[in-house]
Amino acid sequence: MSKWLSLSVLAVALTASALAADRASGASGMPVGDGPEVCQAAVLRNGFSLLFVRREVAGPVTRLWLCADVGAGYVEIPSEQIVGVEPRESAVPRTAAVPASAPATTASGALPAAVPIANLIAGAASRNRIDPDFLASVVKAESGFNPGAVSPKGAQGLMQLMPRTAATLGVENAFDPAANVEAGTKYLSQLLDQYNGDVAKALAAYNAGPRRVEQYGGVPPYPETRDYVIRIIEDYNRKKLRQQADSTTAPADK
């Protein structure tokens, strides 16, 4: 059975109950200039940081314009999630504004079809025989669809590639959304093959590394990794269950 087929029935074949038992409790244009832009890092409450050159506060939401070497456009996040700002220099000249590429999700948690990142996900998923809904759930868990996301451990971009992993996969700029998604999807596909389609093991290996999965014979007992696997499986299952419900309520063609 191909990865595509095995993942397409994940909603009825997988549950997260065993892992859950162990879960730990507890648009305006960018200014154009001749000089180098000064990037800063917005430190988020969840430990991630986003590189930005300008910010605008609108009530409870803050819009962060991304640095030119991270990605074009802006992202919007709740202001309360920003706990600090740190300096970070960038020698990349400012460029004229282009449409934002970091999307907001719909009420159902899915990416709008017209968003470029959604197109990148669909293309990479097709080339690697992975359900695009599943891949979107992974990207959502990894970076929240923010191409400039940087984790406390140094993972970068949409699929949070570590620099060494990115180099192994031939990625020169992990903040390039297309290169990041293509490489991350290729790596995820390799893990699915390695674990014979065992999605939980593949996700755990993507998060904690294959050595840890081998060490523990499955999903490692790390709260972060177990929560990560659960969130992706549950998010994917919700999308598939909604699709099934929509298909049964849709009027039949005459």
Taking the mean position of all CA atoms in its chain, how far away is CA 36? 29
Q: What is the pTM of this model?
A: 0.62
201 or 39: which leads in pLDDT: 201
Q: Which two tokens stand for residue 21?
A: 């038992």
Closest CA to 28 of 97, 116, 95: 97
pLDDT at 77: 75
Domains of the chain: 3-15+102-247 (1.10.530.10), 40-87 (no CATH)
pLDDT of 39 strictly over 80: no
pLDDT tens-digit series, residues 145-162 = 999 999 999 999 999 999
Q: Which helix (H) or strand (E) holds 230?
A: helix 223-249
- In the set 56, 142, 182, 214, the catalytic residue is 142
User: Nearest 10 degrees: CA dihedral of 188, 75, 59, 40?
Assistant: 110
Confidence of residue 197 (pLDDT cuts 50, 70, 90): confident
pLDDT at 30: 39
pLDDT tens-digit series, residues 54-98 = 889 888 888 877 665 444 466 677 888 888 888 764 323 333 323
Cβ contact 156:174 at 8 Å: yes
pLDDT at 43: 80
For the question of residue 142 being annotated catalytic, the response is yes
Report in angstroms the alpha-carbon separations of 201 from 14, 155, 170, 194, 237: 12, 20, 24, 9, 17
